[in-house]
Structure 1
Amino acid sequence: MSDTGYGDFEFERRFFVEHVPTELLEASPTLIVQSYLLAQDGFAVRVRAQATGVAGVDPALDELALLEAHVGAVDFCAITVKGPMVEGTRYEAERELDPLVAVELVRRAPARVAKLRHSAWLGTDGWVIDVFAGGNAPLVVAEVERGGPVTDLVVPAFCTTEVTVDARFANDGLAVRPFGGWAARWAQELATAGPRFLTGLGHNHLAGQDGPG
């Protein structure tokens, strides 16, 4: 949720990552397990439980097993209402929840996502790198968020292609249709179409490349 005068809106851009630099992976990242009470047509109601600084996470476990393995370390929970993504802008209203209530909601809702979140400061932007577990392994998505539209972005070299407006890569989309089931088709699609980046948000400065983005 933005606190810079835009109200309940978030401004972000998201990128599929084939090979994440190991130096950007933290030894003790944040474990996030979230369930969706609603996930349809870009609208979503999400309940998130997260544990900061967790080591020794087994990404082969399913989402619920990951939650149960680290439930004692959960230190923040929230419920979030989201609208559809429009060119890097999405309505998002988030409110903190009591962990005892939130964990029970995550346990009961049928559509879940689990990921390890790593944070890094690259240039003038803060980035998060989400390494998905369970049914969405081995997906890795890098995300940058600002208090206003993410324009004139310096895109790190490890960002393979942009997926900001690809609903398949939204977390609510991944909860319903996990990446593990269509990873091979995505690899073929990417090889055929090549990388793509949004062109309506200023100039994309592609790290290590010359010319317009």
Structure 2
Amino acid sequence: MHTGDTDFEFERRFLVTSLPHHLLEDNSPDIIVQTYFLAKDGYGLRVRLQATQPTAALPLDIDGKAALHRFADEFDLCMLTVKGPNIGGTRYEAERPIDIGVGVAMCARGGTTLAKRRYGVWLGADGWVIDEFCGENRPLVVAECERTSPVVDLEIPSFATAEITGDSRFSNDELVNSPYSVWMKSYLAQLSNQSSRFETGFGKNSYL
């Protein structure tokens, strides 16, 4: 949780076109359900619910509200979060825990919701989060590395297809209103013509 002067997140994000099953076979994913009450121009106000030991897997074809209701009794964490626009891999983020029951009730009554599976892995010198999105955002998979200071001189894993740190379309507060499946084909066509797929303004990139 970010507090005070640390109300900023520093991360780099990458598109993954093939989930690295060899890294995740013994890794049971958390269930993340996020409801946005504001998601516009890079600003977000959301409630995030998380189940860290679900009794069943989150189906990939489920939509956000259905996931909310199906796993309502299994959430063990609820966070209220305010976010600002991403500027060069840095984004304002203030969050605090709230009562799970209140969070579920709020999300059931309003907002727009998405759901995803979340895996955590350690690669090289960094911890990574890999999110596998459900519903209309299938088959999107995003890997991100977050640090307590700007993410520079990063070791990029081999399963990372392209960097999306500066592409606002891939932020969750954009995806909740403009799902990946709607614009995936045009994006992949654009990507196929790019000679460089990783940003060079974050120090020296190396590759795992």
1:155 and 1:191 map into 2 onto residues whose CA distance is: 19
Q: Is the 8 A contact 2:12 2:144 kept in 1?
A: yes
Shift of 1:39: 0.8
Describe the SS at the equivalent of 1:201.
Answer: coil
**TM-score normalised over the length of structure 1:** 0.91
Amino acid at match of 2:117: L
Amino acid at match of 1:17: V
Q: Is the 8 A contact 1:162 1:195 kept in 2?
A: no
Structure 1 residue runs of 4 or more that deviate by more than 3 Å after TM superposition = none
Map residues 64-213 of structure 1 onto 2, 5 A cutoff.
Answer: 64-207=65-208
1:24 and 1:106 map into 2 onto residues whose CA distance is: 33
Shift of 1:113: 1.6
1:75-95 Cα offsets, whole Å, 9 max, x none, are: 000110001101111000001
Corresponding position of 2:44: 44
1:99 and 1:197 map into 2 onto residues whose CA distance is: 38
Q: Is the 8 A contact 1:2 1:147 kept in 2?
A: no
Amino acid at match of 2:152: T
Describe the SS at the equivalent of 1:150.
Answer: coil
Map residues 6-25 of structure 1 onto 2, 5 A cutoff.
Answer: 6-25=5-24
1:32 to 2:28 alignment: no
Q: Is the 8 A contact 2:27 2:119 kept in 1?
A: no
**TM-score normalised over the length of structure 2:** 0.93
Shift of 1:27: 4.9
1:195 and 1:64 map into 2 onto residues whose CA distance is: 38
Q: Is the 8 A contact 1:50 1:75 kept in 2?
A: yes
Percent identical among aligned pairs is 49
| RMSD (Å), alpha carbons | 1.6
Corresponding position of 1:57: 58
Q: Is the 8 A contact 1:11 1:88 kept in 2?
A: yes
2:41 and 2:69 map into 1 onto residues whose CA distance is: 30
Q: Is the 8 A contact 1:17 1:140 kept in 2?
A: yes
Ranges in structure 2 where 5+ consecutive residues have no aligned partner: none
Deviates more, 1:19-28 or 1:123-132: 19-28
Q: Is the 8 A contact 1:160 1:195 kept in 2?
A: no
Shift of 1:2: 4.5
1:112 and 1:177 map into 2 onto residues whose CA distance is: 12
Q: Is the 8 A contact 1:12 1:149 kept in 2?
A: yes
Shift of 1:21: 1.3
1:144-185 Cα offsets, whole Å, 9 max, x none, are: 101111000000010000001100000001011011111111
Number of matched pairs: 206
**Structure-2 change in CA distance of 1:155 and 1:27 (3 Å):** closer
2:70 and 2:108 map into 1 onto residues whose CA distance is: 13
Deviates more, 1:105-114 or 1:90-99: 105-114
Q: Is the 8 A contact 2:63 2:114 kept in 1?
A: no
Q: Is the 8 A contact 1:64 1:107 kept in 2?
A: yes
